[in-house]
Amino acid sequence: MIARPMLSVAVVLPAFLLGNFAASWGGPALLQAPEAEIPRALPPVGRAGVPSSGPQADGQAPAPLAQPIPPPQPAWVAAPASPVEAGFHLLYQLKFQQARQQFSEWEKQHPDDPMGYSAEAASYLFEEFNDQGVLTSEFFLDDRRLLGGIPGRPDDRLGAAFHQAVDRAQKLGESRVERDPRDVSGLLAMTMTNGMLADYSSLIEKRQMATLHLLGVSEGFAKRLLAVDPGAGDAYVALGVSNYILACLPAYKRFFLRLGGVHGDKAVGMHQLEQAVATGNYLQPYAELLLALTSLREKEPERAQALLAQLSSEFPQNPLFARELAKLGALRGP
């Protein structure tokens, strides 16, 4: 997943290159899901308390998002029942090494399941993000960093371990999808790992064209996953992040991308993150944080505060959530 932030694009891209890229991406307007795969207008959110903009007339973007009531948490947040669930619970507390011990246990118990390695890869990516301050309001509100990547050097040790875990997850995921194109575990692993590779390529390595390709691959798997399992809310992280970030690019960059049939939509992207908050599983807390940060960018501090308060309550040992909540409270005043 998880999925969600981030690309920069060369200032001038030849039209023929964009055209060729669009073909490999999947054709024009890939970010707008085909009706046969994902509903054109997503239904109102049921499980969570985050109000949905609801179905819209054909061709219209979702209405502006309303202030949320914090959503109920996935069951594993309160009571992890498996090593993967326990690992994600530790991951969201920034206890990376302990999380990896849990994921390793799952890998031993389920050697054919790509989720263990996908989760392990997420732990390395999140650790790098935490070290670089990526998932903070300072980073997310700064277009130069959000769209251009980290200012410093990455940790080569974390990068090597991340790519190794991704490779293992993708070998298992590809094998499962080749045997059964509707295999949910395989499709989820391919969605998550390609989304994480896009994040790493963009924010850490700053490889723009590689990022665009990886985002397209991740979204393709996300749409296939939702076609098989419409309740797989984690898939909306990849879709939402891509839609939102592409729409944040400067106008001249969006123009060249549109020549190749690639474009995003902020309202649709935030709506898809909202769906991930409402129906996601392992990536649900990540989607909450991304929705809080995008809400700050869109000058919706009440929404951001509610989501950050929920995260701080769910993961009280995570100082990131508490700091972001405190900063927002200080900015808003008494």
> Each residue of 206-221: pLDDT tens digit?
887 788 788 889 999 9
Whole-number pLDDT of residue 146: 82
Task: Give the domain extent around 183.
Answer: 15-29+79-266
Q: Which residues contact 111 (CB under 8 A, 6 or more apart)?
A: none
Q: Is residue 295 part of a domain?
A: no
Q: Is 263 left (phi over 0), alpha (psi -120 to 50) or beta?
A: beta
> Each residue of 237-280: pLDDT tens digit?
999 988 888 888 777 677 776 766 677 889 999 999 999 999 99
Q: Is residue 114 part of a domain?
A: yes
* Positive or negative: CA dihedral 228, 202, 270, 135: positive
| Domain total of the chain | 1
At 135, which CATH number? 1.25.40
Q: Is the pTM of this model over 0.85?
A: no
pLDDT at 116 over 60: yes
Q: Is residue 287 part of a domain?
A: no
> Each residue of 2-39: pLDDT tens digit?
333 333 333 223 333 333 344 344 433 333 333 334 43
Q: Is residue 312 part of a domain?
A: no
Q: Is residue 316 part of a domain?
A: no
Q: Is residue 198 part of a domain?
A: yes
Q: Is residue 5 part of a domain?
A: no
Q: Is residue 92 part of a domain?
A: yes
